[in-house]
Amino acid sequence: MTALRRRTLLQAAGLGATSWFLPSARRGRASPGASAPPRRVVFIGCELGWNPFELRMAPPGAPPEWLMASGYHPAYRDRADPRTWELDLRSAPRDAFSSTLAPLFELRDRALVLDGLSLASVAIDRYGDGHAKGQLHALTGHPAALGKSGSRSVAGAPSADQRIAAALRAQEPALTDLVSLELSLSRRLQYAAPYHARIYRETDQGLIAPVPAEARPERLYERLFSGGTAAGETPARRDLLSRLGDRYAAFSRDLSADDRAKLDLHRQLIRDAEVRLAELERARCQAPPPPEPTWPGGFDDGPRFPLEHFRQRKDAHFDLLTAALACGLTRVATIQIANDEHELLLGTTDDAFHEWYSHGTDAPWRWYGAPGANVSETEHGKFVEAAPGLAAKNRRQVEYAVDLARRLDEVPEGEGTLLDHTLIVLFEDISHGGHGHDQWPVVLLGGFGGAVRPGRYVRLPRTLQNPGLNGLGDFIGVPHSHLLVAILQGMGLDLDHLGVSEIPATSDRAAISLSGPLSALG
């Protein structure tokens, strides 16, 4: 149990009163009505892929082959599969949910599962391994700018969360850098992986820079509620920031243009801190008590932590994020989840987890003995043994998303709850153990201010000619870029595409459009 429990937070934050927001929380452009609360979005990025066979759902009585096309069956390697279906999760009984999606039952009227997307833009990326590409493309939809030592890469465009943050700040000057939060539930993970990053922002000089994520709840608390420090903020300390900003201006005067831009960014961060202090002085949304683990020494004691550490860290992060969203400090967040908990539960290590549970569950290996399957008995045996572990990991990740959604649903807002105006987006870096990027499931939770129609499981067609995605046949599913466009449009951004707008045609394949929103969302 963390010291910061939801009830405490809600009381401290003034639940039940009408004054939920700081003055900075003006109404977002995307809001359906002038008085509606602003929309928020929370991305939750995981790693090492899905076990599709424990995730997929089909209509009652559907023939088994309905599952085969998107299950990497050899019969569908060179065939398109135009079949689509939509399941009404609101009326689905508990046992109709797949084992991975079973945690959604509790919030089934707020869940939307997209089955059959593809990370199509990966096809035109030269750099990085499967993880690097998935982590990078999931939120950018754009090829890497360059590669680093084989498996690494660096993004060529800012990630969706940072695009949203930049746009909102341009619209609402009172918002600060806290408009976006980047969090890690893993102690060691401040980027998506030691070599990979998922979150990128664009600097003033056009540089695409990875953004570190906060792994320590106590630090997050300080940033959110104490102006970045644990000590009380005084007028003198605000004045100090103003003086510091002046020094940065003076120091950068005779630097090169690039360096000036870097220092200007630093100066902007100082300015953000100043604004936050001013906002806090006027805040009606009270700070909750600081999070504390049940052991001494803070959340970070010890190089590896027992299972309880992970869970308390998650609880504290989720509570603070809920507070930041509710108080209007934050509109977009990205949460990174590594495999600490899964490793601990399964008694393995990160490297071994990757080797055994991810590479060991290359989805086509399930089809040993099927006509056309190039699968050895050893490979199939490995799959059979490892697949349940990967599915268990997937299920826990769905539980995390539901956990956060529940917290948001406890916060009244407008005519409904905070969850009604928020969209939680749960995704992986790769589709399945084969490290490919087609048939990439996404779990959504929340009403997003009316911009999505939840309570559904949506199977999308697999009919686009494969532009070069890894090893899964001649056809791929709907590009995820459309989902990103829909989310960004929902947040009020006036754009038609994110990252690249299309995958160009070749002599034997038509162009694939990556523009426009995903119609299946609404």
Partner 1 sequence: MARASNATAALRRLTLLGVAAALCGCDAQGWLRGSADDPAPATGSQRGPARRLNPVELTRALEAAFPGVELPPVDLPPDPVPARFDNAIEAAQPSGLFFAAHRRLALRASAAVVEQARPCVDERDGPAADACARAFIAGAAEQLFRRPLTAQQRAAYLAPLDAYRDEAPSERLRLTLELVLLAPELLYRAPRADAEGALDAFALATRLSFFLWESPPDAALRAAAAGGALAEPEGLARHVERMLDDPRAEATFVRFMSQWLDVGALDRTSSLSDDLRASLHAASRAFLVHGLWRADANLGALFTTDRAWLDDRLADRIGVRRPDAPLQEVRLDPDRRGGWLTRPTFLTTHALPDKPSPVQRGVFVFDRLLCRPFPPPPPEAMSGAVVPDGARVNTNRDYYEVTTNRGPCAACHEGINGAGYAFENYDQFGRWRDADRGHPVDASAAIGDANFAGAAALSRWLATSPAVRDCLARHWLEFAAGDGSMAADDGLRVAVADALADQPLRRIPFVIATHSRFARLASPPEGAP
Site for partner 1 in 130-169 (CB under 8 A): 130, 133, 147-154
Closest to partner 1 by CB, 273 or 444:
273
Closest to partner 1 by CB, 119 or 426:
119
Per CB under 8 A, contacts with partner 1 among 186-215 are 190-191, 194, 197, 203, 207, 209-214
Return d(Cα 401, Cα 308) in angstroms, integer. Answer: 18
Q: Give the Cβ contact number of residue 490 at 10 Å.
A: 22
**The two three-digit tokens of residue 441, written as one number:** 């499931």
User: What sign has the CA pseudo-torsion 486, 487, 493, 498?
Assistant: negative
Closest to partner 1 by CB, 27 or 266:
266
* 3-state secondary structure (DSSP) of residue 112: strand
Closest to partner 1 by CB, 436 or 447:
436
Minimum distance between the CB of residue 231 and partner 1, rounded to whole angstroms? 6
Picking from 240, 317, 320, the residue whose alpha carbon sits closest to that of residue 273 is 240
Return d(Cα 225, Cα 520) in angstroms, integer. Answer: 38
Closest to partner 1 by CB, 111 or 472:
472
Closest to partner 1 by CB, 123 or 325:
123
Per CB under 8 A, 273 contacts partner 1: yes
Minimum distance between the CB of residue 223 and partner 1, rounded to whole angstroms? 5
Cβ atoms of 494 and 85 closer than 8 Å: no
Return d(Cα 294, Cα 217) in angstroms, integer. Answer: 13
Mark the segment that binds partner 1 (CB under 8 A) among 27-35, 40-48, 218-226, 383-391. 218-226
Determine the size of the site formed for partner 1 (CB under 8 A): 86
Minimum distance between the CB of residue 147 and partner 1, rounded to whole angstroms? 4
Minimum distance between the CB of residue 152 and partner 1, rounded to whole angstroms? 8
Minimum distance between the CB of residue 150 and partner 1, rounded to whole angstroms? 5
Closest to partner 1 by CB, 14 or 471:
471
* 3-state secondary structure (DSSP) of residue 238: helix
Picking from 115, 101, 130, 114, the residue whose alpha carbon sits closest to that of residue 70 is 115
Minimum distance between the CB of residue 376 and partner 1, rounded to whole angstroms? 6
- Applying CB under 8 A, among 79, 237, 284, 406 the residue interacting with partner 1 is 237
Mark the segment that binds partner 1 (CB under 8 A) among 85-93, 103-111, 228-236, 285-293. 228-236
Task: Lay out the site mask for partner 1 across 243-272 (x = CB under 8 A, - = otherwise).
Answer: xx-xxx-xxx-xxx-xx--xx-xx--xx-x
Closest to partner 1 by CB, 285 or 430:
430
User: What sign has the CA pseudo-torsion 22, 28, 31, 33?
Assistant: positive
Return d(Cα 19, Cα 161) in angstroms, integer. Answer: 27
Burial of 102 (0-12, 13-18, 19+ CB in 10 A): middle
Closest to partner 1 by CB, 452 or 469:
469
Q: What are the backbone dihedrals phi and psi of residue 10, each rounded to the nearest 5 degrees, phi first?
A: -65, -40
Mark the segment that binds partner 1 (CB under 8 A) among 86-94, 373-381, 439-447, 490-498. 373-381
Minimum distance between the CB of residue 207 and partner 1, rounded to whole angstroms? 7
Strand partners, 425: 43, 444
Cβ atoms of 414 and 36 closer than 8 Å: yes
Per CB under 8 A, contacts with partner 1 among 52-91 are none
- Applying CB under 8 A, among 351, 369, 494, 507 the residue interacting with partner 1 is 351
Minimum distance between the CB of residue 432 and partner 1, rounded to whole angstroms? 10
Return d(Cα 518, Cα 511) in angstroms, integer. Answer: 18
Q: What's the distance, Cα to Cα, between the start and end of the chain in Å?
A: 38
Per CB under 8 A, contacts with partner 1 among 426-485 are 433-436, 468-471
Burial of 507 (0-12, 13-18, 19+ CB in 10 A): exposed
Per CB under 8 A, contacts with partner 1 among 9-48 are none
Closest to partner 1 by CB, 37 or 134:
134
Per CB under 8 A, contacts with partner 1 among 276-295 are none
Residue 357 makes CB contacts below 8 A (sequence gap 6+) with 48, 342, 346, 348, 386, 389, 390, 393, 433
Closest to partner 1 by CB, 37 or 217:
217
Per CB under 8 A, contacts with partner 1 among 303-332 are 303-304
Q: What are the backbone dihedrals phi and psi of residue 25, each rounded to the nearest 5 degrees, phi first?
A: -85, 70
